[in-house]
Amino acid sequence: MIFFFHDIVYNGENYKNATSAIVGAPEWGNRTIMSSPNNFGDMIVFDDPITLDNNLHSPPIGRAQGMYFYDQKDTFSSWLGFSFVFNNTDYKGSLNFAGHDPLMNKTRDISVIGGTGDFFMTRGIATLSTDAFEGSVYFRLRVHVKLYECWKLL
């Protein structure tokens, strides 16, 4: 299963289009500009559309909802806690993710720590890659979800 999700960070002027917002920052940061250096300490809550291709304007098939924060002083790196939420004809339910995302790497793995509905009790790995990155406002992640534990409620 390959998905894309699209994040547009609020920068003080794009409230309508923004899909995420800085909600925590270190003392030297603020909530409309990423902190310097390397965004360390910035915490972002997001509500991002999920699409099946890399087009922001494709019909969303779900939402990626949760948070990430930047957790390294000397490079860009983050930590994610979020869910994929599906409610369509193909999938109903949620996948819960957590893990370390060293975003300067071409690919990186995070954990699928659980799921509900069609993804009841699942575990696995999601391989992330940055499919696009435009300044500090827009990025697009490609997510390859690989489920190794699947349960069926009889």
Cβ proximity to a second copy: between 29 and 51 the closer is: 29
Per CB under 8 A, does 43 bind a second copy?
yes
Cα dihedral sign for 92, 129, 122, 97? negative
Instruction: Rule CB under 8 A: choose which of 4, 5, 46, 139 binds a second copy.
Output: 46
- For the chain, where are the alpha helices, taking DSSP H only? none
Q: Is-contact 68 78, C-beta < 8 A?
A: yes
Per CB under 8 A, does 99 bind a second copy?
yes
Return d(Cα 134, Cα 139) in angstroms, integer. Answer: 6
Instruction: Rule CB under 8 A: choose which of 1, 14, 45, 61 binds a second copy.
Output: 45
Q: Is-contact 36 85, C-beta < 8 A?
A: no
Instruction: Rule CB under 8 A: choose which of 22, 50, 103, 145 binds a second copy.
Output: 22
Per CB under 8 A, does 40 bind a second copy?
yes
Whole-number Cα distances in Å, 35 to 10, 26, 103, 131:
14, 8, 16, 23
* Residue among 140, 141, 91, 99 nearest 115 (CA): 91
Instruction: Rule CB under 8 A: choose which of 88, 104, 117, 132 binds a second copy.
Output: 117
- Binding-site ranges for a second copy (CB under 8 A): 10, 12, 15, 19, 21-32, 40-43, 45-47, 63, 65-67, 69-73, 77, 79, 81-83, 85, 94, 96, 98-100, 102, 108-117, 120-121, 123-125, 148-149, 151
